[in-house]
Amino acid sequence: MALIIGGIGTTHVPAIGNAIAKGLQQDPYWRPFFAGFDYVHRWLAREKPDAVVVFYNDHGLNFFLDKMPTFAVGACNEYRNEDEGWGIPVSRAAMGDARLSWHIINELVTGEFDITMCQDMMIDHAVTIPLQLMYPSGDWPVKIVPISINTVQHPLPSPARCFNLGRAVGQAIESYAEPLKVAVMGTGGLSHQLDGERAGFINKDFDKLCMDDLAGNPQALTGYSIHELVELSGAQGVELLNWLAMRGAMRGEVTELHRNYHIPISNTAAATMVFGHRHAAKRQAA
């Protein structure tokens, strides 16, 4: 059976791609952020996941305001990167695991989640930048299952709905018959607002509360409404929904292994967290 070995939460700010392309990892502005991935690299080298299920939000590459699914799951063996602007170099394609994707899709539909099934899907910086941060050599040795959550066009799914989506995905992964080691990842945020009267808004206190609750009491975050999240974390800070889905996928005992928080990175509160999944370890030992 497939095992969920743990979870990763990270930002996907487009400017990180430029910093990587220009070799600015040791620059004083960037070093506190990139240093937060030193532990991630060691964890990945130790755990060696076969696949990563990525909860993220599409930025107009696959979906736009006229057609915006609440949840969409990729079912491809390859995901091309055709990112949008900023002069970011286009990364190579990421490998997909269509068999795992279709298993998750079937289980979600059986569990009464209405999703969009994508047999042709591209990925933008919300997926490629986290992959490059995880594997800075440029060799991405994992297959991915991208799950897009609408954080753009209202009405947005509630935090509770996204957490329950993660629960259903986690159950689907653990019912998959192949012996895969799977990591789950949520990308985006934390607090930030890129436009309007509150452009540049960052809420450090709320970010810390979210990180604490993600580690110890994620259900507490499901009580917020979308409007409350926007008020507390900024219009784009609702990308916390991706982190909540990631955290919901780990249904057993979860331990916080690492966190890094640095502000600002391009007007964004950049956070990185790693969670160990004790339930998976127990099942492996058995």
* pLDDT string in tens for the chain (286-residue length): 899 999 999 999 888 988 998 999 999 999 999 999 999 999 999 999 999 999 999 988 899 989 999 999 999 999 998 865 565 677 789 999 999 999 999 999 999 999 999 999 999 989 999 999 999 988 899 999 999 999 999 999 999 999 999 999 999 999 999 999 999 999 998 998 888 888 889 999 999 999 999 999 999 999 999 999 999 998 888 999 999 999 999 988 899 999 999 998 888 999 999 999 876 444 444 4
Conformation bin of residue 264: beta by default, left when phi > 0, alpha when psi is -120 to 50: beta
How much is the pTM?
A: 0.94
- Domain residue limits at 145: 3-285
**CATH number for 248:** 3.40.830.10
Residue 151 confidence (pLDDT)? 95
Q: 197-200: list long-range contacts, CB under 8 Å, 24+ apart.
A: 198/234, 198/235, 199/267, 200/264, 200/267
CB 244 within 8 A of CB 235: no
271 DSSP β-pair partners: 261
Residue of 103, 125, 262, 277 with catalytic role: 125
Residue 252 confidence (pLDDT)? 83
CA distances, 13 to each of 47, 149, 255 (Å): 26, 17, 26
Q: Which residues contact 176 (CB under 8 A, 6 or more apart)?
A: 1, 2, 100, 103, 104
Residue 279 confidence (pLDDT)? 61
Give the Cα separation of 103 and 105 in Å (integer): 5
How many domains does the chain divide into? 1
Residue 266 confidence (pLDDT)? 85
Residue 248 confidence (pLDDT)? 97
Q: Does 125 participate in catalysis according to the annotation?
A: yes
Residue of 12, 59, 103, 192 with catalytic role: 192
Longest CA–CA span in the chain (Å) reads 55
Strands 71-74 and 116-118: parallel
Residues 157, 244, 126, 77: is their CA dihedral positive or negative?
Answer: negative
Residues 86, 90, 68, 108: is their CA dihedral positive or negative?
Answer: negative
Residue 285 confidence (pLDDT)? 44
Strands 94-95 and 181-187: unpaired
Q: Does 192 participate in catalysis according to the annotation?
A: yes
